[in-house]
Every structure is written in C-alpha cells, then in structure tokens.
C-alpha cells in the first residue's frame, strides 16, 4: 500500500486549489469532452496510473450524470514505456495496464493529474497504440504547469499554473490521499 503524502506548510507547501475548485473543473471538462465528441459516440476515458486513474473514474461518473451514458474506462501504466528507466534510482513497481475494450476506431481521452514535461503523455500514447489504432487521442489534465520537453498540448485543462521549472506541484485526490487539493512548493532561489 502506498503511504499517504504529508504536505506541511512549514516545508514550504502552499495550497493553491481547493476541493470545490477541483469538482468544478471536472464538471467543466466533462461538459467540454461531450461537446467536442458529439455527446460521447465511440468515446473512452483512460487514466494514467495512479492519480489519473481516479480522475478518469470521476469523469466517467460525471458524464453518466450529465448524459446518462456509460463510457468505457481504462487504466494505463506507463512504467514499461518510460524513457528514463536506465536512469531511475530504484526498481519501479509495475502495476499493469487495463483496457477492457477494443481500442480500434475509438476516441480516447487520456487523463492525468499534472502536465509537465509531456514525457508521461508520450509514454501513455505509445502504450495505448500497442493495443490498436484509436481514431483520435485527446488529453485532459487537472493542471498544466508548463515546461514542456516534447511537442504535446492538452485539449482540456482544469487549471493553468505558472511555475519555475524547479518548483514542485502535487495533486492530492481523496481516493488515494484522503483530500482533494493542489499544492505548490516554490524552489529556493539563491538570490533571496
């Protein structure tokens, strides 16, 4: 079992997004997804482990609430597709990919918590394409903090956050962390 994260104010963590803001973001993104995809025809939602998985579940629930349709839900584990396996300091844990539907011809909305360098999204797209040929892949993230290292952009964004590259952003979700929030920790600079 994963340990809960403790983000303390004295360590420099500041809450920048409240639970109700997360709920509103997810509701808006669900509406946008439906609007852009003709009410959800051939649509599937795929979360990136681990927090993207819970966001994907919430989106599927929200879409059910709005349109009363069941959208297939998948989970993708990008461990086997990472480009930094040779540099990782410890042996990572593989949890497996679950895509309980045929990927061919589907419109897949990939869901993750934070969009940063874009490398996770690259790996997730590769993982999905190994299962078939989706008609389209879109990206939904709860927050976009910039500093892309690959030509990747999100189609649906909960909140844009301006950051320095060395700053830390941490999303917490009640399913895993017991709390809904986004925290930011600013990197110490030598200038101050």
Partner 1 sequence: MKHCGEKLGQHLLGIAGLSKEQIAYYLDTAETFLEVGTRSVKKVPTLRGKTIVNMFLEDSTRTRTSFEIAGKRLSADTVNISSKGSSMNKGETLIDTAVTLQCMQPDAVVMRHASSGSPHLLASYLTDTAIINAGDGLHEHPTQALLDALTVRKALGRLNDLVVTFVGDAYRSRVFRSDKILLETLGSKVRLIAPPTIAKNEFKDLGVEVFFDMESGLKGSDVVVSLRMKHEYLNDCFVPSLSEYSRRFCITENLLAKYCPDCIVLAPGPFVRGTEISSEVIDGNRSFYTDQVAHGVAVRMAVLYLHTIGKEVSYEV
The answer to whether the CB of 49 falls within 8 A of the CB of 95 is: yes
Stretch that binds partner 1, among 62-70, 86-94, 150-158, 166-174 (CB under 8 A): 86-94
Residue 150 binding partner 1, by CB under 8 A:
no
Residue 130 binding partner 1, by CB under 8 A:
yes
- Minimum gap (Å) between residue 103 Cβ and partner 1: 10
Residue 91 binding partner 1, by CB under 8 A:
yes
- Count of residues near partner 1 by CB under 8 A: 22
Helices (H), ranges, 10-139: 19-36, 51-67, 119-129
Q: What string marks each residue from 62 to 81 as x (binds partner 1 by CB under 8 A) or -?
A: ---------------x--xx
- Minimum gap (Å) between residue 171 Cβ and partner 1: 24
Measured between alpha carbons, how far is 142 from 146 in angstroms, rounded to an integer?
13
Torsion of CA 157, 162, 168, 171, to 10 degrees: -30
Cβ-based neighbour number of residue 32 at 10 Å? 15
- Minimum gap (Å) between residue 44 Cβ and partner 1: 17
Stretch that binds partner 1, among 8-16, 89-97, 134-142, 156-164 (CB under 8 A): 89-97
Q: Select the residue interacting with partner 1 from 5, 16, 66, 98 (CB under 8 A).
A: 98
Query: Token digits for 124?
Result: 């997730």
Please give the backbone phi and psi of residue 64, each rounded to the nearest 5 degrees, phi first. -60, -45
Q: Identify the helix (H) or strand (E) that includes residue 174.
A: helix 174-177
The answer to whether the CB of 156 falls within 8 A of the CB of 29 is: yes
Which CB sits closer to partner 1, 130 or 186?
A: 130
Stretch that binds partner 1, among 4-12, 123-131, 138-146, 168-176 (CB under 8 A): 123-131
Identify the three-state secondary structure at position 114. strand
Q: Select the residue interacting with partner 1 from 131, 136, 148, 167 (CB under 8 A).
A: 131
Measured between alpha carbons, how far is 132 from 24 in angstroms, rounded to an integer?
33
Measured between alpha carbons, how far is 50 from 75 in angstroms, rounded to an integer?
9
- Minimum gap (Å) between residue 50 Cβ and partner 1: 14
| Contacting residues toward partner 1, per CB under 8 A | 77, 80-81, 85-98, 126-127, 130-132
């Amino acid at each position: 079992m994963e340990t809960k994260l403790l983000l303390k104010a004295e360590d420099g963590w500041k809450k920048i997004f409240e639970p109700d803001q997360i709920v509103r973001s997810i509701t808006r993104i669900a509406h946008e997804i439906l609007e852009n995809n003709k009410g959800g025809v051939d649509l599937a939602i795929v979360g990136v482990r681990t927090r993207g998985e819970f966001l994907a579940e919430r989106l599927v629930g929200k879409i059910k609430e709005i349109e009363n349709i069941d959208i297939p839900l998948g989970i993708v584990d990008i461990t086997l597709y990472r480009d930094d396996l040779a540099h990782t300091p410890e042996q990572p844990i593989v949890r497996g990919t679950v895509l309980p539907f045929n990927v061919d011809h589907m419109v897949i909305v990939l869901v993750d918590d934070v969009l940063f360098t874009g490398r996770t999204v690259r790996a997730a797209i590769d993982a999905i394409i190994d299962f078939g040929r989706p008609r389209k892949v879109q990206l939904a993230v709860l927050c976009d903090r910039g500093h892309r290292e690959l030509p990747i952009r999100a189609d649906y964004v909960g909140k844009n956050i301006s950051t320095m590259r060395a700053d830390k952003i941490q999303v917490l979700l009640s399913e895993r962390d017991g709390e809904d929030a986004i925290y930011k920790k600013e990197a110490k600079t030598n200038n101050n």
